[in-house]
Amino acid sequence: MAIQVGEKIPNVTIKTSGMQDISTGDLCAGKKVVIFSVPGAFTPTCSEQHFPGFIRHAADIKSKGVDVIACMSVNDSFVMDAWAKDRGAGDDITLLADGNAEFAKALGLEMDGTGIGFGTRAQRFALVIDDGTVSHVAVEEPMQFDVSSAEKVLEAL
Protein backbone atom coordinates (compact mmCIF):
# COMPACT_ATOMS: atom_id res chain seq x y z
CA MET A 1 0.00 0.00 0.00
CA ALA A 2 1.25 3.46 -0.87
CA ILE A 3 2.41 5.82 1.86
CA GLN A 4 -0.34 8.00 3.29
CA VAL A 5 -0.59 11.40 4.94
CA GLY A 6 0.30 11.07 8.63
CA GLU A 7 2.72 8.19 8.16
CA LYS A 8 6.44 8.33 8.90
CA ILE A 9 8.79 8.32 5.95
CA PRO A 10 10.52 4.92 5.68
CA ASN A 11 14.17 4.96 6.67
CA VAL A 12 16.13 3.62 3.70
CA THR A 13 19.75 4.22 2.76
CA ILE A 14 20.12 5.41 -0.83
CA LYS A 15 22.76 7.39 -2.71
CA THR A 16 23.26 11.06 -3.38
CA SER A 17 25.89 12.95 -5.35
CA GLY A 18 29.23 11.17 -5.64
CA MET A 19 27.82 7.83 -4.48
CA GLN A 20 27.46 9.10 -0.91
CA ASP A 21 25.05 7.18 1.32
CA ILE A 22 22.11 9.15 2.67
CA SER A 23 19.44 7.94 5.05
CA THR A 24 15.94 9.09 4.13
CA GLY A 25 15.13 9.28 7.83
CA ASP A 26 18.09 11.59 8.47
CA LEU A 27 17.29 13.66 5.36
CA CYS A 28 13.81 14.40 6.71
CA ALA A 29 14.44 14.63 10.47
CA GLY A 30 13.74 18.08 11.86
CA LYS A 31 13.14 19.57 8.41
CA LYS A 32 10.40 20.34 5.93
CA VAL A 33 11.26 18.36 2.79
CA VAL A 34 9.72 18.05 -0.65
CA ILE A 35 10.62 14.85 -2.48
CA PHE A 36 9.46 14.51 -6.04
CA SER A 37 10.02 11.34 -8.02
CA VAL A 38 10.47 10.83 -11.72
CA PRO A 39 10.42 7.51 -13.58
CA GLY A 40 13.81 8.21 -15.15
CA ALA A 41 16.49 10.81 -15.60
CA PHE A 42 16.85 12.01 -19.21
CA THR A 43 13.35 10.80 -20.11
CA PRO A 44 11.13 13.28 -22.00
CA THR A 45 8.51 14.47 -19.48
CA CYS A 46 10.97 14.24 -16.59
CA SER A 47 13.62 16.30 -18.39
CA GLU A 48 11.39 18.77 -20.22
CA GLN A 49 8.72 19.48 -17.59
CA HIS A 50 8.97 17.87 -14.14
CA PHE A 51 12.58 18.56 -13.13
CA PRO A 52 12.76 22.02 -14.78
CA GLY A 53 9.61 23.11 -12.93
CA PHE A 54 11.23 22.42 -9.57
CA ILE A 55 14.44 24.16 -10.63
CA ARG A 56 12.45 27.20 -11.80
CA HIS A 57 10.30 27.33 -8.63
CA ALA A 58 12.94 26.30 -6.07
CA ALA A 59 13.13 29.76 -4.44
CA ASP A 60 9.32 29.98 -4.24
CA ILE A 61 9.10 26.53 -2.67
CA LYS A 62 11.85 27.30 -0.17
CA SER A 63 10.12 30.59 0.71
CA LYS A 64 7.25 28.44 2.06
CA GLY A 65 9.56 27.04 4.75
CA VAL A 66 10.92 24.07 2.81
CA ASP A 67 14.48 23.19 3.83
CA VAL A 68 15.23 20.56 1.18
CA ILE A 69 13.89 19.89 -2.31
CA ALA A 70 14.92 16.43 -3.47
CA CYS A 71 14.45 14.67 -6.78
CA MET A 72 14.42 10.89 -6.63
CA SER A 73 14.69 8.38 -9.43
CA VAL A 74 15.55 4.71 -9.85
CA ASN A 75 18.85 5.55 -11.52
CA ASP A 76 22.42 5.44 -10.26
CA SER A 77 24.16 8.41 -8.68
CA PHE A 78 26.33 9.04 -11.73
CA VAL A 79 23.29 9.37 -14.00
CA MET A 80 21.56 11.65 -11.49
CA ASP A 81 24.66 13.88 -11.22
CA ALA A 82 24.96 14.12 -15.02
CA TRP A 83 21.25 14.92 -15.31
CA ALA A 84 21.47 17.68 -12.69
CA LYS A 85 24.39 19.25 -14.58
CA ASP A 86 22.61 18.88 -17.92
CA ARG A 87 19.48 20.58 -16.55
CA GLY A 88 21.36 23.30 -14.64
CA ALA A 89 20.00 22.32 -11.22
CA GLY A 90 22.88 23.88 -9.29
CA ASP A 91 22.55 23.50 -5.53
CA ASP A 92 18.78 24.03 -5.44
CA ILE A 93 17.81 20.37 -5.75
CA THR A 94 19.26 17.37 -3.91
CA LEU A 95 19.44 14.35 -6.20
CA LEU A 96 18.54 10.99 -4.70
CA ALA A 97 19.58 7.84 -6.55
CA ASP A 98 17.35 4.92 -5.58
CA GLY A 99 19.26 2.52 -7.82
CA ASN A 100 17.65 -0.66 -6.49
CA ALA A 101 14.17 0.89 -6.03
CA GLU A 102 14.38 0.13 -2.30
CA PHE A 103 12.96 3.52 -1.26
CA ALA A 104 10.25 3.40 -3.95
CA LYS A 105 9.24 -0.06 -2.71
CA ALA A 106 9.29 1.04 0.94
CA LEU A 107 6.94 3.88 -0.02
CA GLY A 108 4.70 1.47 -1.94
CA LEU A 109 5.21 3.68 -5.00
CA GLU A 110 7.20 1.42 -7.32
CA MET A 111 5.98 0.63 -10.80
CA ASP A 112 6.60 -2.21 -13.21
CA GLY A 113 8.15 -0.72 -16.32
CA THR A 114 9.30 -4.00 -17.83
CA GLY A 115 6.86 -3.62 -20.72
CA ILE A 116 8.83 -0.60 -21.96
CA GLY A 117 12.27 -1.85 -20.94
CA PHE A 118 12.51 0.17 -17.70
CA GLY A 119 12.38 -2.66 -15.17
CA THR A 120 11.24 -1.60 -11.71
CA ARG A 121 10.98 2.17 -11.35
CA ALA A 122 9.36 4.69 -9.06
CA GLN A 123 6.04 6.19 -10.00
CA ARG A 124 5.85 9.92 -10.68
CA PHE A 125 4.88 11.56 -7.37
CA ALA A 126 5.55 14.36 -4.91
CA LEU A 127 5.62 14.22 -1.12
CA VAL A 128 5.78 16.95 1.49
CA ILE A 129 7.37 15.74 4.71
CA ASP A 130 7.38 17.63 8.01
CA ASP A 131 9.97 16.34 10.48
CA GLY A 132 9.75 12.82 9.05
CA THR A 133 5.93 12.69 8.79
CA VAL A 134 4.22 12.87 5.41
CA SER A 135 1.83 15.83 5.19
CA HIS A 136 1.02 15.72 1.45
CA VAL A 137 0.98 12.92 -1.12
CA ALA A 138 0.42 13.47 -4.85
CA VAL A 139 0.75 10.40 -7.06
CA GLU A 140 0.24 10.63 -10.80
CA GLU A 141 -1.93 8.30 -12.80
CA PRO A 142 0.13 6.29 -15.33
CA MET A 143 1.45 8.41 -18.22
CA GLN A 144 0.17 11.64 -16.60
CA PHE A 145 1.89 14.77 -15.31
CA ASP A 146 -0.25 17.12 -13.25
CA VAL A 147 -0.60 16.61 -9.50
CA SER A 148 3.14 16.25 -8.77
CA SER A 149 4.28 19.39 -10.59
CA ALA A 150 6.18 22.15 -8.79
CA GLU A 151 3.17 24.42 -9.25
CA LYS A 152 0.83 21.92 -7.56
CA VAL A 153 3.31 21.39 -4.72
CA LEU A 154 3.45 25.16 -4.23
CA GLU A 155 -0.35 25.23 -3.96
CA ALA A 156 -0.21 22.45 -1.35
CA LEU A 157 2.35 24.31 0.76
**pLDDT at residue number 114:** 82
Parallel/antiparallel/unpaired status of strands 32-37 and 68-73? parallel
Give the count of domains, the chain: 1
The one catalytic residue in 14, 27, 38, 46 is 46
Specify the pLDDT at position 46.
74
More confident call, 102 vs 49: 102
Record the pTM.
0.93
**Residue ranges making up the domain that contains 115:** 13-156
Average pLDDT value over all residues in the chain: 92
Note the pLDDT tens digit of each residue in 108-145.
999 888 887 787 889 999 999 999 999 999 999 888 89
28 included as an active-site residue = no
Q: Is residue 52 part of a domain?
A: yes
Quick one: pLDDT at residue 41?
85
**Looking at residue 21, what is its pLDDT?**
96
Could you tell me if residue 5 is inside a domain?
Answer: no
Does pLDDT of 59 surpass 80? yes
The H-assigned helical ranges of 13-149 are 24-28, 44-45, 51-56, 58-62, 77-87, 102-107
Assess if residue 101 is contained within a domain. yes
Residue 3 lies in a domain: no
Nearest to 97 by CA among 27, 37, 10, 26: 37
Which CATH number do you get for residue 46?
A: 3.40.30.10
Q: What is the pLDDT of residue 84?
A: 92
